[in-house]
Amino acid sequence: MILEVRGLAAGYQGSDVIRAIDFHVDAGEAVMIIGSNGAGKTTLFRSMLGLLPASSGQVRFQGSEIVGMPAQRIARLGISFVPAERHLFPRMTVLENLYLGAYPDRPDPETDDMVMDLFPRLAERRRQHAGTLSGGEQQMLAMGRALMGKPRLLVLDEPTTGLAPKLAAEAYQALDVLRGKGLTVLVAEQQVPLAMAFSDRGYVMENGVFELEGSSEELANNPQVRRSYLGVT
């Protein structure tokens, strides 16, 4: 088990948005958390990764407790997070953004090559400022930057936000390649069909709690999931 979350609760201004969250991710797995807008997926990730204080619960990463650690320390332990807003460095070049992903180390040439192979568009635009990239390119850069830190676990919050269907599919193709290389991936998604085709298992989040869990196949056949998230009536 690479990540284990137990009884996690967190929120804003004293009221919990998410409650009693239990889940885990095994090494090499791809796990999805699906749910509608406002279900609490982002709050879950932010509290898990030190960007928002958790009000109770435990988060263990590779056996060590990480609740209460600042985000920068968690990042250095080997979890790379790609937030929905991406948080790139707009007035720095693509290359500078990527190199900072390896902070505090120098960028590893092999990882650099791997990222450039995965996203050839970034190689073309290496000297361009991140702020001038299109939405799809920015998403690629955010993923590339996250990979430069050679994470053990890649966490993505709605990687398809604001992307045209073709680009959204491309983002998941890249994730498929990364999985093939043995990377463990945890993704929160509203575009359920893409996430479902990609992941092994999943959890369904509603109103701050997990309502359902199962293999992606089980969830795809669940009538409730089909109705709410796959548009099948």
Partner 1 sequence: MIANILDGIVLGLQFGLLAAGLTLVYGLGGVLNLAYGQMAVLSAIATLFAIDAGVPTLPAVGVGLAVGVLLGLIFDQTILRPIYRIQGEARVLLSLLLTLGVAFIVDGYLTWRYPTEGLSIRIGGGPIDILGVPMRRGSIVASVITLLALGALFAFFRGTTLGRAVRSVIEDEEGARLVGIDPRRMLRVILALSGFLAALVAITQSMVRPVTVTAGFGITVFALIVTVVGGLGSVTGAMFAGIILGMVNNIAASYIGTFLSLLILLGAAALTILIRPSGLLGVKE
Q: Is 59 in the site for partner 1 (CB under 8 A)?
A: no
Q: 6 - beta bridge partners?
A: 58
CA distances from 172 to 8, 165, 185, 218, 222 (A): 28, 11, 11, 21, 23
Q: 186 - beta bridge partners?
A: 31, 155
- For the bound state, the minimum distance from the C-beta of residue 197 to partner 1, rounded and expressed in Å, comes to 27
Cβ nearer to partner 1, comparing 87 with 227: 87
- For the bound state, the minimum distance from the C-beta of residue 179 to partner 1, rounded and expressed in Å, comes to 21
H/E stretch holding 202 reads strand 201-206
Q: Is 99 in the site for partner 1 (CB under 8 A)?
A: yes
Q: Is 169 in the site for partner 1 (CB under 8 A)?
A: no
Cβ nearer to partner 1, comparing 102 with 212: 102
- For the bound state, the minimum distance from the C-beta of residue 71 to partner 1, rounded and expressed in Å, comes to 4
Pair 61, 84: CB distance under 8 Å: no
Q: Is 91 in the site for partner 1 (CB under 8 A)?
A: yes
Mapped onto helix, strand or coil, the DSSP state of residue 73 is helix
CA distances from 176 to 130, 189, 219 (A): 25, 15, 20
Q: Which of 100, 167, 169, 230 binds partner 1 (CB under 8 A)?
A: 100
Q: Is 106 in the site for partner 1 (CB under 8 A)?
A: yes
- For the bound state, the minimum distance from the C-beta of residue 77 to partner 1, rounded and expressed in Å, comes to 9
Q: Is 213 in the site for partner 1 (CB under 8 A)?
A: no
Cβ nearer to partner 1, comparing 96 with 200: 96
Count the residues of the shown chain that bind partner 1, applying the rule CB under 8 A.
Answer: 27
Pairing of strands 15-25, 3-12: antiparallel
Q: What angle do CA 30, 159, 3 make, to 5 degrees?
A: 35
Q: What are phi and psi of 158, to 5 degrees?
A: 45, 65
H/E stretch holding 110 reads helix 109-118
Binding mask 126-165 for partner 1 (x = CB under 8 A): -------------------xx--x----------------
Q: Is 72 in the site for partner 1 (CB under 8 A)?
A: yes
Q: Is 109 in the site for partner 1 (CB under 8 A)?
A: no
Match 């676990």 to its residue by tokens. Answer: 153
Q: Which residues contact partner 1 (rule: CB under 8 A)?
A: 51, 70-73, 75-76, 80-81, 83, 86-92, 96, 99-101, 103-104, 106, 145-146, 149
